[in-house]
Structure 1
Amino acid sequence: MQATDPEPFEPAETADSGSPRWILWLVVLLVAGGLGLAVVSRGGSGSSDPASSYANAFGGPFTLTAPDGSTVTEKTLAGKPYAIFFGFTRCPDVCPTSLARMARLRKQLGPDGMKFNIVFVSVDPGHDKPADLGNYVALFGTPIIGLTGTDARLEQIKKGYGVYSAKVPQPGGDYTIDHTAAIYLMTANGEFSGTIDTQESDATALEKLRRLIV
């Protein structure tokens, strides 16, 4: 039988074969993905600035109760920048430390220190009643707006600010609370401006506050 030459070998088109067809598909996918991202970033409010859209969406409406029993909403706070922190009165460390720090930073700003409000929201409504919260914030020697509310109303504001909190059972039936420790800075228009972190220097925190109250 006469031998015949074998058919030339043609490799399969795989991701690492360098096939022009594979490269073409990759380009198509990248272009489609880019268009999709462009649509998402421009959706919703119609703003072309994602950072601006995020600032407008952050925070949102809430209804809470002040120590004197009055109702406080996001509209109550409008017109003046504020620094808002979430915690509870029995917190042994980060809550009193953070509130004392904000009082100190306000004093360091001199006359400008009263150009923003300090707001403390208790995430422990089972223990922190409005009057108790008022007594607590009074310990820091500077005006602080203490707020609390029902579980449902606290869940609403926590969701708006992306705040985490959860009870941690303790021996004997008591509990403590794990919670987000950041201080959120909000403009007079109710837009997110930034955060003050527990680990950053006072100099950095003061600069953020100066930008907030300009």
Structure 2
Amino acid sequence: MSPRARRLALPVLALVIGFVALGTAIYVTLLPRGGSTVSIGGPFALVAGDGKTVTDRDLRGAPYLVFFGFTHCPDVCPTKLFQLSEVFRAMGDRGRDVRALFITVDPERDTPEIMKSYVSSFDPRIIGLTGDPAAIDKVTRDFRAYAKKVPTKDGDYTMEHTSLVYLMGKDGRFIGAFNLERPPEEAAKDLLQRI
């Protein structure tokens, strides 16, 4: 295999794995089982960049968005967080109470300080959350999200993860997947209708 082909193989493989993970996440997240509604979300207590605990109860009263990712993510995470920032910008002051949670799937590297620094590049209504591995595993399972550690050839690792954005209602219950693949003004209008 030529050096050029090797350089292209990793991004192509990552893209294919991402699409498989997305398809699996959508299937697992949105498909009702046994004729009943799937429970998505639940109680959590995670740590924000300022070291304070944030719980699901702290977010009650306004809809909020949840996105799972990690700070070493090369493309999907910064893109989604930028899209969320654009939606918040488009909502303006009317969306001042709406929050988005960026929950790490890589608690080994994503400390509260690193999460705080990372999300500071985006809208301040985006809250970076981390926790111990058990807490992250629980919230990931409760949201029926997907996350898997994948070793790389250089001895490091990356994370495969769900790229779905979850929309949670004022009561903390799952409403559905929130589509960011549209103009920010359209997504903002949709979100504002839920306030």
Tell me the secondary structure at the aligned position of residue 121 of structure 2: helix
Distance 2:56 2:124 in 1: 21
Paired position in structure 2 for 1:209: 191
Corresponding residue pairs, total: 161
Q: How big is each residue's C-alpha offset from its partner over 1:7-29, in whole Å with a ceiling of 9 and x where there is no partner?
A: xxxxxxxxxxxxxxxxxxxxxxx
In structure 1, the gaps of 5 or more residues are 1-39, 42-49
Is the CA contact 1:181–1:197 (under 8 Å) kept in the aligned structure 2?
Answer: no
TM-score, with structure 1 as normaliser = 0.70
- 2:102, 2:126 within 8 Å by CA — same for their partners in 1? yes
The answer to whether structure 1 residue 155 and structure 2 residue 137 are counterparts is: yes
Distance 1:77 1:109 in 2: 18
> How far 1:115 moved relative to its partner?
3.1
TM-score by length of 2: 0.76
SS at match of 2:148: strand
Residue of structure 1 equivalent to 2:58: 76
Deviations 1:10-65 (A, max 9, x none): xxxxxxxxxxxxxxxxxxxxxxxxxxxxxx76xxxxxxxx55xx4xx321111211
Paired amino acid for 2:119: V
CA, structure 1 residues 195+204, in 2 after alignment: closer, same or farther (shift >3 Å)?
farther
Aligned to 2:155: 173
Q: Runs of 5+ in structure 2 lacking a partner?
A: 1-33
CA deviation after TM superposition for structure 1 residue 177, in Å: 0.6
Are 2:118 and 1:136 equivalent residues in the alignment? yes
What is the RMSD computed on CA atoms of the aligned residues?
1.8
- Aligned to 2:120, the other structure's residue is in SS state helix
Identity over aligned pairs, percent? 41
Structure-to-structure mapping, 1:1-214, within 5 angstroms: 50=36, 54=38, 57-197=39-179, 200-202=181-183, 205-213=187-195
Deviates more, 1:183-192 or 1:138-147: 138-147
How big is each residue's C-alpha offset from its partner over 1:105-124, in whole Å with a ceiling of 9 and x where there is no partner? 11112222323111110110
The one-letter code matched in structure 2 to 1:193 is: I
Q: 2:139, 2:131 → 1: CA distance?
A: 10
* CA–CA distance in structure 2, aligned partners of residues 80 and 201 of structure 1: 22
How far apart are residue 212 of structure 1 and its match?
2.3
Counterpart Cα distance in 2 of 1:147 and 1:159: 16
Determine the C-alpha separation between the residues in 2 that align with 1:73 and 1:190. 11
Q: Is the 8 A contact 1:99 1:140 kept in 2?
A: yes
For residue 204 of structure 1, report the CA deviation from its aligned partner: 5.1
> Aligned letter for 2:164?
A
**Cα separation, 2, equivalents of 1:165 and 1:208:** 28
